[in-house]
């Protein structure tokens, strides 16, 4: 972000503008919505400009801007439609210590004026750092359509009512009041005029004052494999409503950004063999926040019920008498299979699918190796990066075919997704050579699609 968005208070401040044609008028239209004192410098102003001056909307000086004219100005606009003249005005402004904007010259400007959706006092400013003006216009048009015309009125009346609403305790209860006003009661009353909106505000406040405090709750939410578009709609809504989000380290930034800015975000997770938060601490943390009435989202990578120690946390909540629910997510094995374009089950090949873990709390995890070694078996192996040699050894020991395909899918569904096809007999070696960064899932019994095709072709050729 090269340009930092702020809303500048122009009440009673001075703003100078050089220029007297259409470009200048366009800037002035926006500036006239503020409470700034406007000074326009132009040796040959167009008639509209003269009229605005006659109406007292601005002060018109009928000559080019000169050194000294910009003294004390908060902002200086150069809008003369002449590059050299704009540059000269820019220099005058800068020498006077003002922030300078040369219209249509991003490089030489200190600030840019965003595209604006005006529902005063609600103002939406859209900026693209000059990268995509078309995009800014499209977003503006979209918002113009979507934001009700009465939004400004609601915000104005709401602002006047703030001191009443301060009777509600700070935090979620006050927030609930306002969101019900802006998104339900307010728009409903707005059609009947300002009086109706004021009445609605008082009635709503009375109701909220009586309301019992909402009980705390913990939602165990599956964040999926990493692509934010693979979140469920429910996950997205709960994230948006949460007061506290306690998340695994696996959950990437773009998903966490869906939480409200006021929400408390706590990273509390485990990384294979890496730093981790003790389970007892996580249990205590979610219990405590929920007891204080918070809506807690316990956000876990993939599906919370797959190698996520879900039961340990729900049991702790049961003991504490805290209500909870589970929202499933897309597990890594599904995402990995999708990245290969292959099915986890297939008629005539496998009638069962196994999900196993490479290690557990006691180290490398044992599994039913004999069952896994049967031809046609498909298994998703979680946390298998470091256990590759162990898994390979165990499977081959019980008679698995060293030519069994295995695919390592790292960062499934993320921009840095990588699939490496190999065979069981070379798994450990391949894993060491590829050294995938980030979470990786092993798909035992599945080859990447291309490899599968060429193996098939070889078989056909051999026949």
User: Looking at the annotation, which residues are catalytic?
Assistant: 248, 270
Query: Which region holds residue 234: left if phi is over 0, alpha if psi is between -120 and 50, else beta?
Result: alpha
Query: Which region holds residue 154: left if phi is over 0, alpha if psi is between -120 and 50, else beta?
Result: alpha
Number of residues that bind ligand SAH (CB under 6 A): 26
CA distance 41 to 78: 10
* Spatial CA neighbour of 113 closest among 233, 221, 27: 27
Q: Which stretch binds ligand SAH (CB under 6 A): 36-44, 103-111, 439-447, 450-458?
A: 439-447
Closest approach, Cβ 183 to ligand SAH, in A, equals 34
Position among 76, 197, 412, 446 found at the interface with ligand SAH (CB under 6 A): 412
Position among 287, 392, 413, 422 found at the interface with ligand SAH (CB under 6 A): 413
* Spatial CA neighbour of 36 closest among 69, 87, 74: 74
Contact between 255 and 223 under an 8 Å Cβ cutoff? The reply is: yes
- State both tokens at 402: 């060293």
Q: Is there binding between residue 298 and ligand SAH (CB under 6 A)?
A: no
CA distance 333 to 356: 10
x/- track of binding to ligand SAH for residues 263-282 (CB under 6 A): ---------x----------
Give SS3 for 6: coil
Position among 23, 42, 404, 411 found at the interface with ligand SAH (CB under 6 A): 411
Contact between 272 and 254 under an 8 Å Cβ cutoff? The reply is: no
Q: Is there binding between residue 127 and ligand SAH (CB under 6 A)?
A: no
Of residues 210 through 239, those in contact with ligand SAH by CB under 6 A are 225-226
* Spatial CA neighbour of 430 closest among 413, 455, 451, 416: 451
Position among 41, 307, 324, 364 found at the interface with ligand SAH (CB under 6 A): 307
Closest approach, Cβ 260 to ligand SAH, in A, equals 24
Position among 441, 443, 444, 446 found at the interface with ligand SAH (CB under 6 A): 441
Closest approach, Cβ 248 to ligand SAH, in A, equals 8
Q: Which stretch binds ligand SAH (CB under 6 A): 126-134, 212-220, 287-295, 304-312?
A: 304-312
Residues 6+ apart with CB under 8 A from 76: 15, 16, 17, 18, 70, 89, 90, 92, 93, 96, 98, 99, 100, 101
- Which spans in 232-278 are helix H? 233-241, 253-256
| Residue closer to ligand SAH, measured from CB, 102 or 412 | 412
Position among 52, 294, 382, 421 found at the interface with ligand SAH (CB under 6 A): 382
CA distance 113 to 126: 9
Position among 255, 332, 365, 379 found at the interface with ligand SAH (CB under 6 A): 332
| Residue closer to ligand SAH, measured from CB, 13 or 249 | 249
Closest approach, Cβ 451 to ligand SAH, in A, equals 19
Closest approach, Cβ 305 to ligand SAH, in A, equals 8
Q: Is there binding between residue 101 and ligand SAH (CB under 6 A)?
A: no
Tell me the residue number closest to ligand SAH, measured at CB. 302
Closest approach, Cβ 192 to ligand SAH, in A, equals 51
CA distance 239 to 265: 11
- Rg (C-alpha) for the chain, rounded Å, is 31
CA distance 407 to 142: 44
Q: Which stretch binds ligand SAH (CB under 6 A): 23-31, 71-79, 88-96, 296-304?
A: 296-304
CA distance 213 to 172: 9
Q: Which stretch binds ligand SAH (CB under 6 A): 13-21, 143-151, 331-339, 449-457?
A: 331-339
Q: Is there binding between residue 19 and ligand SAH (CB under 6 A)?
A: no
- Give ∠ CA 340-346-348 in degrees, rounded to 5: 140
| Residue closer to ligand SAH, measured from CB, 64 or 424 | 424
CA distance 253 to 103: 36
Query: Which region holds residue 57: left if phi is over 0, alpha if psi is between -120 and 50, else beta?
Result: alpha
How far is C-alpha 324 from the chain's CA centre? Answer: 25
Position among 76, 259, 440, 446 found at the interface with ligand SAH (CB under 6 A): 440
Q: Which stretch binds ligand SAH (CB under 6 A): 177-185, 187-195, 388-396, 403-411?
A: 403-411
Q: Which stretch binds ligand SAH (CB under 6 A): 33-41, 192-200, 361-369, 406-414?
A: 406-414
Contact between 384 and 360 under an 8 Å Cβ cutoff? The reply is: no
Q: Give the footprint of ligand SAH on this chain (CB under 6 A).
A: 225-226, 250, 272, 300-303, 306-308, 331-332, 335-336, 382-383, 409-414, 439-441
């Amino acid at each position: 972000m090269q340009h930092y968005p702020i809303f500048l208070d122009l009440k009673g401040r001075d703003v100078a503008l050089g220029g007297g044609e259409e470009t200048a008028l366009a800037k002035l239209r926006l500036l006239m919505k503020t409470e700034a004192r406007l000074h326009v410098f132009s040796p040959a102003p167009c008639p509209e400009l003269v009229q605005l001056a006659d109406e007292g909307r601005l002060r018109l000086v009928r000559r080019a801007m000169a050194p000294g004219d910009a003294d004390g100005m908060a902002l200086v606009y150069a809008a003369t439609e002449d590059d050299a003249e704009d540059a000269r005005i820019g220099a005058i402004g800068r020498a006077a210590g003002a922030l300078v904007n040369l219209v249509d010259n991003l490089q030489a400007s200190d600030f840019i004026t965003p595209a604006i959706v005006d529902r005063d006092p609600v103002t939406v400013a859209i900026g693209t750092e000059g990268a995509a003006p078309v995009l800014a216009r499209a977003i503006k048009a979209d918002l113009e359509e979507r934001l009700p015309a009465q939004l400004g009125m609601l915000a104005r009346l709401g602002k006047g009512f703030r001191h009443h609403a301060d009777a509600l305790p700070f935090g979620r209860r006050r927030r609930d009041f306002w969101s019900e006003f802006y998104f339900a009661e307010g728009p409903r009353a707005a059609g009947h005029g300002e009086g109706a909106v004021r009445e609605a505000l008082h009635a709503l406040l009375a109701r909220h004052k009586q309301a019992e405090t909402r009980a705390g709750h913990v939602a165990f939410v599956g964040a999926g494999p990493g692509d934010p578009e693979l979140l469920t709609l429910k996950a997205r809504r709960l994230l948006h409503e949460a007061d506290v989000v306690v998340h695994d380290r696996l959950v990437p930034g773009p998903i966490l950004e869906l939480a409200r800015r006021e929400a408390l975000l706590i990273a509390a997770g485990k990384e294979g063999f890496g730093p981790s938060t003790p389970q007892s601490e996580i249990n205590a943390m979610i219990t405590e926040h929920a007891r204080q009435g918070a809506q807690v989202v316990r956000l876990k990578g993939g599906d919370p019920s797959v190698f996520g120690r879900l039961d340990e946390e729900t049991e702790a909540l049961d003991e504490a008498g805290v209500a909870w629910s589970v929202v499933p997510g897309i597990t890594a094995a599904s995402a990995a299979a999708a990245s290969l374009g292959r099915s986890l089950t297939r008629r005539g090949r496998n009638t069962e699918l196994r999900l196993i873990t490479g290690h557990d709390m006691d180290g490398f995890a044992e599994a039913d190796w004999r069952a896994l070694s049967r031809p046609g078996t498909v298994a998703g192996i979680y946390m298998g990066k470091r256990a590759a040699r162990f898994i390979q050894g165990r499977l081959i020991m019980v008679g698995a075919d060293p030519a069994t395909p295995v695919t390592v899918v790292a960062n499934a569904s993320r921009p840095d997704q990588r699939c490496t096809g190999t065979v069981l007999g070379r798994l450990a070696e391949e894993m060491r050579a590829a050294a995938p960064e980030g979470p990786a899932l092993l798909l035992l019994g599945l080859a990447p699609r291309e490899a599968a095709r060429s193996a098939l072709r070889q078989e056909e050729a051999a026949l």
